Amino acid sequence: MSHPVSDETQDHLQQWPARARKLFGELMEDAGSDLQREFIQRAVAAAHTPAEVHAFADALRGMSDEEAYASCTLHDDAPDDYTVSQLLRAEADPLFAFELKGGTIEPNEEEPAPEPVPEPVKSDAPRLDALGFVLAKKKSSDSFEAPLSGAPRPKSLDWNDLPSAKPPPPKKEGPASAGGTRFLEGLLAEATSALRISWKEQDIDSPGGLSLADALASAAGALSRGIPVPCAIGPNPGDHRRFVVLMQLNTSGQSRAWQLYDPFTAELVWANEGDLLMKRELPFANKVNRRLTRIVLPQSLRAAF
């Protein structure tokens, strides 16, 4: 008997080796209830490894639904020292919530070797010159080292001018094609390969993309791990004019502020989350690009962000 899985879970399963995908099917069959199957799916969608998902499923199998729900869900009585990022991540990732509440898993199998990755298509496109922020060291909360010290600063570049690092996907009819070509996934994957991080590029507030609120919630988890999040800004959804980076998230009481960096103008600014969600203006000198239009989210190959 096969069980339906979400599109997001299916996307992550496609990155697993065939043996691990077969294991997932067995875990779904052996799960004691629909709630356990839902938790297993969410753990996969949160980018946990096959070994971690296997150990998590084993831990769930010995619980009743009431025990599993209590172990994998944060309630209103959660301790005050949980951060907003932890609460948001735990809401989407039951394995993270399980560990946050004191549960432990013991992956007891070796991770399968990654499947061969096709040789990237050679291109004359700017690569690390435009992505030097990934490797540059942050000197302080108010300054950022210029990309690729000693190299000339790259000229201002429109996001739409960046060629893809891999062949574009087949063109589809209808709203599903609104996501556009994924320009930076391949370049970022190459720059951060040693960190075991993959990337997923999506439009914001466009058909088939993420809402701005969902994009910021996902970015918060990455920033809590110290991983910058590349974005595009522009005047309207789907109109990507400039390349910027989300650098930090600062929480004070009920308010949150995001630090944004423009590697071409060297502007480092703070924006209140409420202002970002209003989509009316960003605190850069150029006021034409007033909203986030595209985001490239990191997907860890070892654990979710």
**Is 105 among the domain residues?**
no
Bigger pLDDT: 207 vs 152: 207
138 vs 69, 134, 261, 267, 295, CA distance in Å? 41, 10, 11, 14, 21
Checking if the pLDDT of 259 tops 90, the result is yes
How far, CA to CA in Å, does 35 sit from each of 61, 70, 109, 192, 230? 11, 12, 25, 36, 35
Both 192 and 283 in a single domain?
yes
188 and 241 housed in the same domain: yes
Distances (CA, A) of 186 to 58, 120, 131, 158, 218: 35, 8, 12, 18, 20
- Half-sphere exposure of 154 toward its Cβ, with a 13 Å CA cutoff? 20
Range(s) of the domain holding residue 288: 128-300
Does 23 lie in the same domain as 150? no
Domain assignment present for 160: yes
Rounded to the nearest integer, the mean pLDDT of the chain is: 75
Residue 7: closest CA among 37, 44, 35: 44
Contact 47, 303 (CB under 8 A): yes
Q: Are 261 and 144 in contact (CB under 8 A)?
A: yes
Does 120 fall in a domain? no
Alpha helices in 137-241 (DSSP H): 185-191, 212-224
Do 90 and 158 lie in one domain? The reply is no
pLDDT tens digit sequence for 10-31: 888 888 898 988 999 999 988 8
Give residue 257's pLDDT band: very low, low, confident or very high (50, 70, 90). Answer: very high
Q: Taking the alpha carbons of 305, 91, 224, 289 in that order, is the dihedral positive or negative?
A: positive
Residue 128, both tokens:
């690390």
Identify which has the larger pLDDT, 8 or 184.
Answer: 8
Model confidence at 73, pLDDT cuts 50, 70, 90, reads confident
pLDDT of residue 54: 92
Are residues 212 and 175 located together in one domain of the fold? Answer: yes
- Asked whether residue 144 falls in the same domain as residue 216, the answer is yes
**Residue 118 scores a pLDDT above 70:** no
Position 78 scores a pLDDT of: 64
pLDDT band at residue 36 under the 50/70/90 scheme: very high
Question: Are 64 and 142 contained in the same domain?
Answer: no
pLDDT digits (tens, 9 = 90+) for 124-156: 544 444 444 444 444 444 444 444 444 455 444
Question: Do 55 and 196 fall into the same domain?
Answer: no
Q: Would you say residue 245 lies in a domain?
A: yes
Mean pLDDT of 65-83: 78
Q: Which of 229, 225, 221 is nearest to 202 (CA)?
A: 229
Confidence of residue 185 (pLDDT cuts 50, 70, 90): low
pLDDT at 211: 92
Q: Which residues pair with 262 in a beta bridge?
A: 267
User: Contact 95/105 with Cβ under 8 angstroms?
Assistant: yes
Residue with tokens 């932890």: 86
78: left (phi over 0), alpha (psi -120 to 50) or beta: beta
Look up the pTM and report it. Answer: 0.42
Average pLDDT over residues 96-101: 86
Q: Tell me: do 189 and 275 sit in the same domain.
A: yes
148 belongs to a structural domain: yes
Residue 111 placed within a domain: no
Closest by alpha carbon to 166, among 199, 118, 208? Answer: 118
Q: How far apart are CA 205 and CA 215, in angstroms?
A: 9
Give 275-300 pLDDT, tens digit per residue: 899 988 899 988 888 899 999 888 75
Of 166 and 276, more confident: 276
HSE, side-chain direction, 13 A CA sphere, residue 128: 10
At residue 226, does pLDDT exceed 60? yes
The reported pLDDT for the residue numbered 166 is 41
Going by pLDDT thresholds of 50, 70 and 90, the confidence category of residue 92 is confident
- Whether 13 maps to a domain, the answer reads yes
Are 95 and 146 members of one domain?
no
Q: Tell whether 148 and 257 lie within a shared domain.
A: yes
Q: Is residue 109 part of a domain?
A: no
- Total count of domains within the chain: 2
Other Cβ atoms within 10 Å of 292 Cβ, number: 27
Token digits of residue 189: 């994957």
For 116, residues 6+ apart whose C-beta sits below 8 A from its C-beta are none
Domain termination site, one of 84, 100, 116: 100
Residue 90: φ, ψ to 5°: -65, -30
Residues 190 and 275 in one domain: yes
